Amino acid sequence: MAEKTLTLIELLQGMAIVALILYILQGTKTSLEIAEYIDTPVGKALIALIVMFLFAYTTPFLGIIALIAAYHLVKESKILTGSHALENYYPTEASKWTPFSPLHQFPYTLEQEMVKKMAPQKFNTNYKKAPYKPVLEDNHDAAYVYDDVRIK
């Protein structure tokens, strides 16, 4: 009979599968320092790249286990850093204003009716140029309010 020997790559893949399954089943807590890096867009993209790499270059079973472990890692990181609570429990502007929506349904008011009845404003008026020039009177040596310079 031919004996099948495990190559180094197969051995490492088997060890990775066992390690990821243990991580998923034990519920190992992630440290806050690591969770803060993972709960960023760059951290999530890096985790996704690692999972895609495992899908592309290893066995599909390892890729699926890595996907599940990555989901648990990202979820736990969101819970540790508090962004999960902000997304789910912090009120949005829409939810803050929903109780006021029925209160802001006004009927056609008297003010709206009077504004509609007003004569339209004229914006293109041709004013005549004034036939006089304003004259500055003597200011009796008064100082400007904004500085101490006197006009003479």
- pLDDT exceeds 90 at position 99: no
Who has greater pLDDT, 77 or 116? 77
Confidence of residue 146 (pLDDT cuts 50, 70, 90): low
**Percentage with pLDDT > 90 across the chain:** 39
**79 neighbors 29 (Cβ within 8 angstroms):** no
Alpha-carbon distance 69 to 50, whole Å? 11
Confidence of residue 84 (pLDDT cuts 50, 70, 90): confident
- In the chain, domain spans: 9-89
> What stretches of the chain adopt beta strand conformation (E)?
none
pLDDT score, position 147: 56
